[in-house]
Structure 1
């Protein structure tokens, strides 16, 4: 086959174009740090990348869910800690009021403080995380306690609008892993319901009316309510421990998922630099050879 100067020039230009394409590929990998810049570069890497990125995104979402769960748990525990302090203070006042040496006015002064503590317990029941009430199950937009303190002429009080007795408690679940949900709120029954708050009201009224029998019964009621609150706090602690373990596992999963995604997508920078320098040397050599090939002109052939 007869090889002409045009054929040599065309082949040389085609090979130079291919060399430029390789240089562009290595430059792009070096600049982006990725093996591919479009799915057509390697469909297998692109397809796997979709699944790996989905795994990373899921883990990141679960960690965000955990953050919300931590807020609910910590807020609930803090609220019940305030309730515990209030109940313990009420018990101190009740024990003091049960002493027979107290005068009527002294017991009424103790009743005045208990009245304030009852109001405080009602306000703690309406604790919010963001704009959600944490002690009202799934009904997070409505406060569980709308307490109104009614004072009679003799100083006794009554409550209206508190959390109804026997209200069905619907847990607020947070998905913390695939197919795994954790309840992060606390059952308000036996802590903020009408019966419980009425027991506190009875203690107040016993002090107000100087009735030691009611005061002693109120001490027993306070012990029972305190036990309910401590039981709820124990459950909160158990839930928090579980969330901690899930958080540790998600942290490990996130590291693994990111490593797998990196192995699939990220370019080996050392290898890319080596390939780029090699291709630059090959390209420069090709340019030098091409310059010598296309240098002769028609006059050179006529000499």
Structure 2
């Protein structure tokens, strides 16, 4: 038996009208946001790609900002080192003049005073700050001055002069990411930058019968070197030479002691980690005495120095009128220091070249990824307008049809 009345036609009509209204709502939202994907269910695969592209674009933008920052940072560092090179060149000119043998002791003393003023400026460069107020040459320690000045009496001088420049920064170099998985150094260790000569450390302890008591490690210039129980002096030398540390180790054939020599001009940074191997071998002092790089054992003999050590020796020779020292070892040390400083500038220049290519690649990659992202999420406006007009037309037609064909009810006849 058929029912006399039912709401089924009304319910069906309302359902389809609401469905069409939701479609209109989605198209209107797409046009207002200019994006094709409003919800993940609109295009799950496209949404997944879009999220990855958007994340990559964010990283590329950050890499570009990092590169620009490092370029500015390098320009500041290079400017200070360029000034340092000019100062050392002036010191070399004075050294050549003083070594001629045609100047009086008073003239040499006057030259020594000028060299001392230039030394003061070199220390100021070494303690220079960047645009953000942080020290440039202290490694990761950027809040305090990386070099500490010691003053004392110098033969021939009337006032207290610089007698020592101690590095109190560290050797941790900050790394900045400039591309996916690619990093570049944005911090410089002063013991490397202002190293003038190869440093040698000669222990005086006979270690022919030395054995490591228990497993541990020590570090040289930040490179960890592990030792095991029973290691001899020969195995320790082998491990040092096999490591990435810029130093060569050998054994004194007479004293049977350890000798370390840097492979690039800098002051050695040596520390015992677990154990006391370097201290036992007479290379470094106990940790409570001095901190690196000034922790070489008192019994050890060491040579080679920083740029400041070289300049101080030249100045001291001028103060006492030692022309022979100036013309021999003095001029040679200045040449070594100048060559080392120019080499540091060359390294920064090479990194600057890398940054220029990295920035160019970054700027080329951003539009490419942006285009891929746009293909996934951007709305085709013409298609959206056509779809909107179609839905509007069909919606109006449905409303008009509903108004005509929905059956009348009892209420229509109640007067």
What band does the TM-score fall into relative to the shorter chain?
Answer: 0.7 to 0.9
Residue 43 of structure 1 corresponds to: 44
Larger % of strand: which? 2
SS in 1 for 2:395: helix
Check if 1:215 corresponds to 2:326: yes
1:256 to 354, 368, 371: 368
Contact kept? 1:86, 1:121, Cα under 8 Å? yes
Residue 159 of structure 1 corresponds to: 163
CA RMSD, aligned part only?
A: 3.3
Residue 377 of structure 2 corresponds to: 265
User: Aligned partners of 1:232 and 1:2: how far apart in 2?
Assistant: 97
- Going from structure 1 to structure 2, the CA distance change for 1:283 and 1:117 (only over 3 Å counts) comes to same
User: Aligned partners of 2:95 and 2:4: how far apart in 1?
Assistant: 113
- Going from structure 1 to structure 2, the CA distance change for 1:90 and 1:161 (only over 3 Å counts) comes to closer
Residue 145 of structure 1 corresponds to: 147
Check if 1:202 corresponds to 2:313: yes
Gaps of 5+ in 1: none
Residue 344 of structure 2 corresponds to: 232
Over residues 93-141 of structure 1, what are the superposed CA-to-partner deviations in whole Å (9 max), with x where a residue is unaligned? 3334445443443333322221111111112112334354433344445
User: Aligned partners of 1:18 and 1:4: how far apart in 2?
Assistant: 25
Residue 116 of structure 1 corresponds to: 117
User: Aligned partners of 1:181 and 1:172: how far apart in 2?
Assistant: 10
Check if 1:188 corresponds to 2:179: no
Q: CA deviation at 1:295?
A: 8.9
Higher relative contact order (CA 8 A, sep 6+): 1
Residue 66 of structure 2 corresponds to: 65
SS in 1 for 2:335: helix
User: Aligned partners of 1:134 and 1:3: how far apart in 2?
Assistant: 92
Task: State the TM-score, normalizing by the size of structure 1.
Answer: 0.82
User: Aligned partners of 2:315 and 2:123: how far apart in 1?
Assistant: 15
Contact kept? 1:149, 1:159, Cα under 8 Å? yes
Contact kept? 1:184, 1:239, Cα under 8 Å? no
SS in 2 for 1:176: strand
Residue 246 of structure 1 corresponds to: 358
Contact kept? 1:134, 1:185, Cα under 8 Å? yes
More displaced stretch, 264-273 vs 223-232: 264-273
Over residues 163-219 of structure 1, what are the superposed CA-to-partner deviations in whole Å (9 max), with x where a residue is unaligned? 38xx99554332323332223445325248654312211222222223322332433
SS in 1 for 2:148: coil
Residue 125 of structure 1 corresponds to: 126
Q: CA deviation at 1:73?
A: 2.4
- Going from structure 1 to structure 2, the CA distance change for 1:195 and 1:47 (only over 3 Å counts) comes to closer
SS in 1 for 2:166: coil
Q: CA deviation at 1:275?
A: 1.4
Contact kept? 2:150, 2:165, Cα under 8 Å? yes
Contact kept? 2:135, 2:145, Cα under 8 Å? yes
Contact kept? 1:34, 1:265, Cα under 8 Å? yes
User: Aligned partners of 2:4 and 2:17: how far apart in 1?
Assistant: 19
Larger % of helix: which? 1
Contact kept? 1:76, 1:185, Cα under 8 Å? no
Residue 402 of structure 2 corresponds to: 290
User: Aligned partners of 2:394 and 2:5: how far apart in 1?
Assistant: 24
User: Aligned partners of 1:226 and 1:160: how far apart in 2?
Assistant: 19
